[in-house]
Structure 1
Amino acid sequence: MKILLNAVGSHGDVLPFVGLGRELRLRGHRPHLFANAAYATLASVVGLDFSATGTVEDIDKLRKDRNATAPMDGMALLAKGVLQSVVQTYPLLEQAYEPGDTIVVGTSLAWAARLLCEKKAATGVVVHLAPSLLRSEHMAPSFGPLGHLAWAPKGLKRWAYALMDRRFLDPLFTQPLNQIRTGLGLAPVQRSFNTWMHEADLVLGLFPEWFAPRQPDWPSPMQYSDFPLYDHGDHAEMPDAVRKFLSDGERPILITAGTANASSDAFFADSIAACRKIGRRGIVVTQDARQLPANLPDGFAHFQYVPFRALLPKVAALIHHGGIGTTSQALLAGIPQLIRPMGFDQFDNALRTVSLGVAQQILPRRYGANRAAKTLKALLTDTDTQARCRTVARSMASNDGVKQACDAILALGQVHRVTPDSA
């Protein structure tokens, strides 16, 4: 069976699809990954067919834009990237599609995959790596300091969603999408973020139900898997320099801001200062050293990349941005987390992680060295937090989200074995 995998987003969005592709290939199927050229090496290492849907420069430009995490400017940049990806990706998917023996799998914002499924009546799967885009009038996703709005009446939530669509999402996303749809001979849609993006033969959440309990008004059919804890360094040796640093003293604090931005100078400076205030060493992981102080203090080391599956069990705590991949790896490692969310799904991920009793969050405007130091010290010394970390880690010991997700995708293929081509 041929499986077209379309991943749109950062390294953390693409990596789970590399894991899916690897597993599907091992099972004798023909996965083909469509993602930005920056991720070609990830695909080649595991033997995946790969088609580039954008340039490395596209990713770098977005990552280095200091407006990327600003509420409005960031949303506009995201919309531009998503719609550009649709235009670049659709013809590649169409060329690779084989009627009758193809499943099309896309991330939340891989809208070229959604369009292909509509145009060709193809079997399709929408994959949500995090629950933040699953709207609900019950437990709403969190996009900032207001949290999940559990206190708000359903009518107020409906009004808020409609306002967000009308004022922001429709002009930025839906209207340009409809121009593309017209060119493909498809009817326009309304409210692309409400129902259209979830319209597929299967909606698959790559997170466990204990992390995001099912809501009565979520899309159907929807299945869960465990977290897709695939790391392309899973089987790599820990670099010697990292091993040496770890052996030189007590377990350090790991500090990272993910790969989707290169404008976290203040975050790194404050986090390093917070560690120093409580007398802890630190490892800083970022691909862009320009975000760091010119000279790191004694007791701190910078590395561009370290496989988190190997590193996290050896650190005392993690300070990070709240990306779903980083969050889930820390849950598996059983370490406390200090989260400073910046945008997108990170606020929702942070709040859900805090609710597990294994983390604390500090919102961006309140994040500083003193507050971070106080919070970090509490996380490190609180016995209840440490116990909860161990409990969650034990519950994930047999985690195999990649295999579970592949099982669901292939089961769908058996149900929809014949895929008529309506082109």
Structure 2
Amino acid sequence: MSRIVVTTIGSLGDLHPKIALALELRKRGHIVIFATHKGYQAKIEALGFEFHEMRPDGTDDPSEIARMTDSKTGSEYVVRNWLLPNLRETYTDLLNTARDADFIVAGEIVYAARLVAEKLGIRWASSALQPFSFFSAYDPPVLSVFPFLAKLRPLGVTVNRGAIDFAKSVTKSWAEPIHQLRRELKLPELAGNPLVDDKFSPYLVLAMFSSVLAKPQPDWAANTVMTGFTFYDGDRDRAELTPELQQFLDAGEPPLVFTLGSANVLNPGVFYQESIQAATQLNRRAVLLMGANTLPENLPKDIIATNYAPYSKIFPHACAIVHQGGIGTTAQALRAGRPTLIMPYTYDQPDNAARVKRLGTSRTILRQQYSASRVAKELSELIGDPSHAAKSAEIGRMVQAENGVSVACDAIEKQL
């Protein structure tokens, strides 16, 4: 039996894959301790895990979410105004949590994890929830800050390596707080950029996404194990649709499902208003998953709005899913085997959207182009072409056949 600290920063899309790991590790006899945002305490403790608060706190302030998810400046804002100004607090909180631990499993942007593991002299695993994380020149990502670089993809490795090196150089100065804290802790200097080159563990890197999205590349981090997605969707065995929603689904044709995940839903803009009009123009039934937003009144009888429904339960009922392209939502849509229309915000979302589009299961619409008429046109073409449904079903069977949790936990146990 080992004591394993699982730590993550971010949205439910970051937390849920770690919960999936924790449940399986506990089943295998290990003690799992969580270190994450205070807002997740009730969720973690309800599952019977020990919880330790780790700063920075999360936020549900719409204006702050808007700054964090801006397609041009969101990444820099999050790193330089939220994560690294709190690096010392994150380090202190995680150090206190991990003092008696045998192993740490860290989310990608828990930059303090490497510092704590080195200071305590224990092994650790880093995780990547999406191919975007690897910044591969052989499989270059789509960058929301520099979308024009995506046009260089067909030009080969040499050109794409230059483009990626350019993108890396932009963030080099951002990482100075990490280097400064390493010096204070008398830890060895890092040769690369700890936000990019040196963010991965030298022991184990868990690529926690499906091989349908990407294959291992020569420039991926050493010791990477591709696991497949690790799914957790509430308490999946007991989470059910509300009677009202179930009755709606049973009463007619498969609906469109519109959702913005757990973070971008706090900054929806005109997404839901335009989605209602698009569904009406198409004469299609629709389900709106709206989070904490005020549910609209006087909806057409073929449209229903609800705060929440577990994706694993609602997505298989859809004819198509419209979402923001977060990796958690993307994974659930792929597993459900349904076509998607993606309106990406920032971070990995444009890259996720491009990858599923290349699979033949999805189309992409820019956020500034999200209007009822444009959405109706895109959905009409998406649903009207049976090849999208056929390919989506094929990909769904492939994702369902993977067992990401088991593969990941096997790799962790080899390190213990």
Q: CA deviation at 1:22?
A: 1.3
Other-structure match for 1:327 = 330
CA 1:63–1:20 in 2, change beyond 3 Å: closer, same or farther? farther
Other-structure match for 2:134 = 134
Contact 2:134 2:220 in 1 (8 A): yes
Other-structure match for 2:415 = 412
1:249 partnered with 2:260? no
2:227 to 203, 225, 234: 225
Other-structure match for 2:206 = 204
CA 1:63–1:181 in 2, change beyond 3 Å: closer, same or farther? farther
Other-structure match for 2:367 = 364
CA 1:62–1:184 in 2, change beyond 3 Å: closer, same or farther? farther
1:340 partnered with 2:343? yes
- Distance between the aligned counterparts of 1:218 and 1:196, measured in 2? 12
Q: Residue type of the partner of 2:328?
A: G
Contact 2:71 2:345 in 1 (8 A): no
Other-structure match for 2:173 = 171
What does 1:17-416 align with in structure 2 at a 5 Å threshold?
Answer: 17-54=18-55, 58-61=58-61, 64-79=64-79, 80-84=81-85, 86-98=87-99, 102-144=102-144, 145-146=147-148, 147=150, 149-167=152-170, 169-172=171-174, 174-189=175-190, 190-235=192-237, 236-261=239-264, 262-290=266-294, 296-413=299-416
Q: What TM-score comes out, normalization by structure 1 length?
A: 0.90
Q: CA deviation at 1:86?
A: 3.2
Q: CA deviation at 1:72?
A: 4.2
- Distance between the aligned counterparts of 1:229 and 1:302, measured in 2? 25
Q: Residue type of the partner of 1:127?
A: S
Q: CA deviation at 1:121?
A: 2.8
- Distance between the aligned counterparts of 1:201 and 1:63, measured in 2? 39
Q: CA deviation at 1:187?
A: 4.3
- Distance between the aligned counterparts of 1:148 and 1:14, measured in 2? 33
Offset from partner CA, 1:131-189 (integer Å, 9 cap, x none): 1120122221112444373224544434433433333x2333x0122232233223454
Runs of 5+ in structure 1 lacking a partner? Answer: 414-423
Offset from partner CA, 1:191-228 (integer Å, 9 cap, x none): 22332102430111001223111111111111101111
Q: Residue type of the partner of 1:130?
A: Q
Q: What TM-score comes out, normalization by structure 2 length?
A: 0.91
273-282 or 113-122, larger mean C-alpha shift: 113-122
CA 1:267–1:15 in 2, change beyond 3 Å: closer, same or farther? same
Q: Residue type of the partner of 1:30?
A: I
Offset from partner CA, 1:219-259 (integer Å, 9 cap, x none): 11111011112212312222112112212322211101111
Contact 1:252 1:282 in 2 (8 A): yes
Other-structure match for 1:418 = none
Q: Residue type of the partner of 1:28?
A: G
Contact 2:202 2:222 in 1 (8 A): no
CA 1:285–1:31 in 2, change beyond 3 Å: closer, same or farther? same
Q: CA deviation at 1:397?
A: 2.9
Counting matched residue pairs gives 408
**What's the % identity of the aligned pairs?**
30
- Distance between the aligned counterparts of 2:55 and 2:200, measured in 1? 24
Question: Secondary structure at 2:273's aligned position in 1?
Answer: helix
Q: Residue type of the partner of 1:208?
A: S
Contact 1:8 1:85 in 2 (8 A): no
Offset from partner CA, 1:366-415 (integer Å, 9 cap, x none): 332212111111221211111111111222333321222111111121xx
Contact 1:6 1:110 in 2 (8 A): yes
Offset from partner CA, 1:240-297 (integer Å, 9 cap, x none): 121122123222111011111312121222222221111112111122314x656544
- Distance between the aligned counterparts of 2:281 and 2:257, measured in 1? 15
Question: Secondary structure at 1:344's aligned position in 2?
Answer: coil
- Distance between the aligned counterparts of 1:112 and 1:263, measured in 2? 28
- Distance between the aligned counterparts of 1:23 and 1:321, measured in 2? 29
Other-structure match for 1:417 = none
Offset from partner CA, 1:297-353 (integer Å, 9 cap, x none): 442222111111111111211000001111111111111100011101101111111
- Distance between the aligned counterparts of 1:162 and 1:150, measured in 2? 14
Contact 1:24 1:406 in 2 (8 A): yes
Other-structure match for 1:15 = 16
293-302 or 242-251, larger mean C-alpha shift: 293-302
Q: Residue type of the partner of 1:214?
A: P
CA 1:5–1:133 in 2, change beyond 3 Å: closer, same or farther? same
RMSD, aligned α-carbons: 2.1
Contact 1:230 1:402 in 2 (8 A): no
Question: Secondary structure at 1:71's aligned position in 2?
Answer: coil
- Distance between the aligned counterparts of 1:275 and 1:201, measured in 2? 49
Runs of 5+ in structure 2 lacking a partner? Answer: none
